[in-house]
């Protein structure tokens, strides 16, 4: 019997892992540069957390959640996103006591039961940031600046920032009414889901992946903002202009989750086809109160790592390659193997990635293997060498070989390693 991975999941290995290291390392570096600290929340959460926050009538809750009943009879869901868990953790751990604002980032797997295709998986991974405790447009600016900084740093070009404001509970009813009137006059062009949602949650229609053409001509949310939302939006746009962050206004952008208010945004890549949103987010000032906490303004974004990798590959960006080892210790026979293990361990203690033979193979087979692993040097310890207390150091891609005394062999290799050879 052979087993296969679950549809929409991936095994990540070989050279592919270098892309993951590259993105995750840079995500941590950039997040830290802006003062964001990592928050790790569980993969599993109570189902109600997402129903309550993401929204009953969203695609995520209606169709995409991995939900099961555990042995204690509780309804559990594999997290489909990272913001609701962040807010839950913030409230539950009384993090408010540490004062505001606070800055968090997360990196990890998310789960959604979707139709798998390029850039759309059932287990995918996000790097996300959340800035909690400021309603001021400068916090929106910081989040967008961080997003741009990160994408520039890893080299994702050819992208467009789409920006919108979807108002607040005060002004949104006016917009909702306009939208309803608009969609009522186009009801024949709508899919079944949208016909139903027209009554329950008309904003959702703008995010429909089927009725795209109708949505494009719909009234724009930023034309119906109240005074406060308007000045917040204007102040953000002014700051973005001043800081040289390019964006396009996209008055029908609403995002697929219900908790957003005011600022929403997406960064789309020009060459990624249907799954072209690489980063998305917005403000969620009402979410803390919705989840039983003290009302606290906040915003953030999440970025799809798989889609970033697709973009890096389109650009032909070479990420640093992590080879299995720098040094390979060739051992021939029992005595040489024991001595080889001692030397290899010494090298590792001094920071040199080192592999030794563990299969008792012939010299040539070991050298071939060392080459295949991408080792730079091989340290050869045959009986003849050991009897004279020396070793041969072979520079693998240069076909040169020198003899060194055993007591300086590790020094010599450490030196080669440090000289970035």
Q: How far is the CB of 123 from ligand ATP (least distance, A)?
A: 8
Segment lying near ligand ATP (by CB under 6 A), choices 96-104, 172-180, 301-309, 345-353 = 301-309
In whole angstroms, what is the distance from residue 140 CA to residue 104 CA?
Answer: 15
Out of 121, 215, 352, 381, which residue is the one contacting ligand ATP (CB under 6 A)?
121
Q: What is the 3-state secondary structure (H, E, C) of 164-186?
A: EECCCCCCHHHHHHHHHHHHHCC
Phi, psi of 221 (to 5 degrees): -65, -35
Measured CA to CA, the distance from residue 378 to residue 364 in angstroms comes to 12
Give the residue, chosen from 10, 134, 275, 337, that forms a contact with ligand ATP under the rule CB under 6 A.
Answer: 275
Q: Are 401 and 392 in contact (CB under 8 A)?
A: yes
Is residue 114 a contact residue for ligand ATP (CB under 6 A)? yes
Q: Give yes or no for residue 302 binding ligand ATP (CB under 6 A).
A: yes
Integer Cα distance of 163 and 198 in angstroms:
24
Neighbours of 303 (CB within 10 A): 24
Closest residue to ligand ATP: CB criterion: 304
Please tell me whether residue 166 binds ligand ATP under the rule CB under 6 A: no
Please report how close the Cβ of residue 161 comes to ligand ATP at its closest, in angstroms. 13
Q: Applying CB under 6 A, does 23 fall inside the site for ligand ATP?
A: no
Q: Residue 312, interface with ligand ATP (CB under 6 A)?
A: no
Residue 131 CA to residue 90 CA, distance in Å, equals 12
Q: Is 120 one of the binding residues for ligand ATP (CB under 6 A)?
A: yes
Nearest CA among 107, 109, 116, 122 for reference residue 65 = 122
Nearer Cβ to ligand ATP, position 63 or 349? 63
| Contact set for ligand ATP, span 326-355 (CB under 6 A) | none
Residue 53 interacting with ligand ATP (CB under 6 A): no
* Member of 167, 297, 304, 340 binding ligand ATP (CB under 6 A): 304
Question: Cα–Cα distances in Å, from 298 out to 103, 132, 139?
Answer: 10, 4, 8
The mark string for 125-144 relative to ligand ATP (x by CB under 6 A, - otherwise) is -x------------------
In terms of CB distance, is 113 or 412 closer to ligand ATP? 113
Residue 256 touching ligand ATP (CB under 6 A): yes
CA 260/CA 250 separation, integer angstroms = 15
**CB atoms near residue 61 (< 10 Å):** 21
Among 280, 298, 379, 409, binds ligand ATP (CB under 6 A): 280
Q: Which two tokens stand for residue 15?
A: 């050279």
Please report, as ranges, the residues that interact with ligand ATP according to CB under 6 A: 81, 112, 114, 119-121, 124, 126, 255-256, 275, 277-280, 302, 304, 306-307
């Amino acid at each position: 019997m052979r087993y296969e991975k679950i549809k929409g999941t991936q095994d990540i290995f070989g050279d592919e892992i270098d892309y993951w290291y590259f993105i995750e390392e840079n995500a941590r570096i950039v997040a830290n540069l802006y003062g964001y600290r990592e928050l790790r929340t569980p993969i599993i959460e109570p189902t109600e957390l997402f129903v309550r926050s993401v929204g009953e009538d969203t695609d995520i809750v209606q169709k995409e959640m991995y939900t099961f009943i555990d042995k204690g009879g509780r309804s559990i869901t594999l997290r489909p996103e990272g913001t609701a868990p962040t807010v839950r953790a913030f409230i539950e751990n009384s993090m408010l006591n540490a004062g505001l604002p606070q800055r968090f980032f997360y990196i990890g797997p998310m789960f959604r039961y979707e139709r798998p295709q390029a850039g759309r998986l059932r287990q995918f991974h996000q790097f996300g940031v959340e800035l909690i405790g400021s309603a001021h447009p400068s916090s929106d600016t910081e989040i967008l600046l961080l997003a741009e900084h990160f994408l520039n740093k890893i080299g994702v070009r050819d992208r467009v920032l789409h920006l919108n404001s979807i108002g607040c509970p005060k002004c949104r009813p006016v917009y909702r009414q306009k939208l309803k009137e608009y969609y009522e006059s186009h009801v024949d062009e709508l899919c079944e889901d949208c016909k139903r949602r027209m009554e329950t949650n008309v904003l959702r229609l703008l995010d429909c992946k089927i009725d795209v053409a109708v949505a494009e001509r719909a009234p724009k949310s930023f034309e119906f903002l109240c005074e406060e939302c308007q000045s917040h939006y204007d102040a953000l746009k002014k700051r973005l202009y001043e800081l040289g962050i390019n964006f396009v206004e996209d008055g029908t952008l609403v995002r697929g989750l219900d908790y957003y208010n005011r600022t929403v945004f997406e960064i789309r890549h020009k060459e990624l086809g249907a799954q072209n949103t690489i980063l998305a987010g917005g403000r969620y000032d009402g979410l803390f109160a919705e989840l039983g906490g003290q009302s606290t303004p906040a915003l953030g974004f999440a970025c799809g790592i798989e889609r970033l990798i697709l973009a890096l590959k389109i650009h032909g960006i070479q990420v640093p390659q992590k080879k299995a080892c720098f040094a390979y210790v060739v051992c021939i026979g029992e005595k040489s193997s024991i001595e080889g293990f001692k030397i290899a361990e010494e090298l590792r203690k001094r920071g040199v990635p080192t592999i030794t033979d563990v299969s008792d193979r012939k010299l040539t087979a070991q050298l071939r293997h060392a080459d295949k692993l991408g080792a730079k040097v091989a340290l050869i310890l045959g009986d003849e060498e050991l009897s004279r207390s020396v070793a041969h150091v072979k520079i693998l891609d240069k076909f040169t070989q020198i003899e060194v005394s055993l007591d300086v062999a590790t020094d010599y290799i450490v030196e080669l390693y440090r000289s970035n050879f």
